[in-house]
Structure 1
């Protein structure tokens, strides 16, 4: 059977034209659009406020002694000689291999270059030692080594699930 062009049915042009005509806007439709756009702007603002609050909270949680000429680095302080002895904060053990230092992006209570809070490799886990460094109010302090670089030493605990814990220091170049 052969089909010719004349045998094909014709589309109703009236229905096609009615679908192409713009629907007039109602007050309700305009109001819905305006409220939707306002909600999107408000939610975006909340995100900015939340990010600022997170930065402020992190800054208040990690109290950092930044002077390299006073405090622990001042005359008679344990880092005053700017030698390897400055890498320890009292009897703490530095993690020279940086296993106790957080190396990834900020989050989950951890900040890059600070002592890790959470599980480690094998049976190890780490935790902060807040307000335990200099003067009982600082979580870390800066120390200028004889090579001219400034380091942050943040305090924490290195623990084992099979044993106890010992004080540890995360030395990090700042």
Structure 2
């Protein structure tokens, strides 16, 4: 009679190799495409960050409230309730961009796009010496306002210069 202990021991090392998942061609391609997608989307985020910086650099802001375009008339008009000087302003801020920056618009600047029955245009490099797009105005309430230039155009096509007043 044979006992269990007398049986020879089998080599089972080859069983482990056989049970291991072997990568298939489809699985390999799926992993490569997934990694490529992650890298691609990550690089788009990097590119978008650079575009925001470039766009922000485009809008030049004159920040002094005592020199430049405000040197001659700022002190004379702040007590009259005019936040950005004697030029026509959008007092209801309808010409100011209030939403997320994008599509050529930055929050708190004169917007570029349609409105109700009119169209708004930003006036780049039209503020002072053909360089700046806005200036800061120290108002009598103690706030400093950014005054960015633009146009408000009617549906008939006539345009008037307007200013977007925004507290900075």
| TM-score (normalizing by structure 2) | 0.75
1: distance between equivalents of 2:134 and 2:42?
33
Q: Given the superposition, is the C-alpha separation of residues 42 and 166 from structure 1 closer, same or farther in structure 2, using an over 3 Å criterion?
A: same
What is the Cα deviation at residue 117 of structure 1? 0.7
For the Cα contact (< 8 Å) 2:83–2:165, is it kept in 1? no
- The runs of at least 4 aligned residues of structure 1 exceeding 4 Å deviation read 27-31
What is the Cα deviation at residue 48 of structure 1? 2.4
Match for 2:88 among 89, 93, 109?
A: 93
Equivalenced residues, count: 149
Structure 1: runs of 5+ lacking an equivalent: 1-20
What is the Cα deviation at residue 23 of structure 1? 6.2
1:1-174 alignment, distance < 5 Å? 24-26=21-23, 28=25, 31-32=28-29, 34-74=31-71, 77-81=72-76, 83=78, 84=81, 87-88=84-85, 92-122=87-117, 124-174=118-168
Structure 2: runs of 5+ lacking an equivalent: 1-17
1:119-148 Cα deviation digits (max 9, x unpaired):
1112x1110111110222111111111111
- 1:110 aligned counterpart, secondary structure: coil
1: distance between equivalents of 2:19 and 2:167?
64
Across the aligned residues of Structure 1 and Structure 2, the Cα RMSD in angstroms comes to: 2.6
